[in-house]
């Protein structure tokens, strides 16, 4: 497993070694030792899977209590994946990291607790699978406005193309959002 650093040191890209031939491929998608070796203390307690069509944007989501660390990968299709640092004490507060995750590149994104997460689907359909370090707590669920200019995220789709949930339409700008200490 190759671990690639991003512009935000706590957010990492995991690039697995893939063995393939005419029959298909094989790779390890998770091994606790990779996290230990990278100095990450994470215990995963919940796995989630999301299915979405082209132009669906989900996020930017986070839990203000019981923040979730997430290891995100795409098992079918392609998404533009984004993590936004919401730790007020961090030198990268309000900054984001984005990466294209697909079933072709098999990259995985580690998003530590204290970040908002979102993605938009750039293929016809995508299946996103992610491991979480905390259980989902709907009472603490929050949504950060995906197109807040303060975030400077360069989404690959325009606003008129994007399909949002009511929750994400009503999301708050960074200046008004609850954030972490």
3-state SS string for 111-169: ECCCEEEEEEECCCEEEEEEEECCCCCHHHEEEECCCCHHHCCCCCCCCCCCECCHHHH
Rounded average pLDDT over 53-64: 97
Q: What is the dihedral of CA 88, 164, 80, 174, to 10 degrees?
A: -10
Structural domain spans, the chain = 43-176
Residue 156: the pLDDT is 94
Q: Sheet holding 115-121: strands in order across? A: 96-102, 78-85, 115-121, 57-63, 141-143
Q: pLDDT confidence of 85, banded at 50, 70, 90? A: very high
Kindly list the distances between the CA atom of residue 101 and the CA atoms of 18, 33, 44, 110, 175, in Å, as whole numbers in the listed order. 15, 22, 20, 12, 29
The size of the chain, in residues, is 181
Task: Tell me if residue 130 is catalytic.
Answer: yes
Whole-number percent of the chain with pLDDT over 70: 100
Secondary structure of residue 67 in the 3-state scheme: coil
Q: Phi and psi of 169, rounded to 5°? A: -65, -35
Give dist(CA 98, CA 57) in Å, integer: 14
Tens of pLDDT, residues 111-137 = 999 999 999 999 999 999 999 999 999
Say yes or no to pLDDT of 35 above 80.
yes
Task: Tell me if residue 125 is catalytic.
Answer: no
Give dist(CA 60, CA 85) in Å, integer: 11
Quote the pTM value.
0.94
Question: How is residue 154 written in tokens?
Answer: 């360069």
Residue 160: the pLDDT is 83
Average pLDDT of the chain to the nearest whole number: 95
For the domain 43-176, what is the CATH superfamily, name and number?
Answer: Jelly Rolls (2.60.120.10)
> Please, are residues 143 and 170 in contact by the beta-carbon 8 Å criterion?
yes
Higher pLDDT, 160 or 149: 149
Give dist(CA 69, CA 126) in Å, integer: 21
Among the options 62, 130, 135, 136, which is catalytic? 130
Among the options 61, 125, 140, 180, which is catalytic? 61
């Amino acid at each position: 497993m190759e671990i690639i650093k991003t512009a935000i040191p706590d957010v990492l890209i995991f690039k697995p070694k893939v063995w393939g031939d005419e029959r298909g491929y094989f790779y390890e998608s998770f091994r606790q030792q990779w996290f230990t070796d990278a100095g990450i203390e994470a215990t995963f307690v919940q796995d989630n899977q999301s299915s979405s069509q082209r132009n669906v944007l989900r996020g930017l989501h986070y839990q203000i209590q019981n923040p979730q660390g997430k290891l995100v990968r795409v098992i079918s299709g392609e998404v533009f994946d984004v993590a936004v640092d919401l730790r007020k004490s961090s030198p990268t507060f309000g900054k984001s990291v984005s990466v294209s995750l697909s079933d072709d590149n098999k990259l995985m994104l580690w998003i530590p607790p204290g970040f908002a997460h979102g993605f938009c689907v750039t293929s016809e359909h995508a299946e996103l699978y992610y491991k979480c370090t905390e259980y989902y707590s709907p009472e603490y669920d929050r949504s950060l406005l995906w197109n807040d200019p303060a975030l400077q995220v360069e989404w690959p789709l325009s606003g008129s193309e994007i399909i949002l949930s009511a929750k994400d339409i009503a999301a708050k700008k960074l200046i008004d959002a609850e954030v972490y200490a």
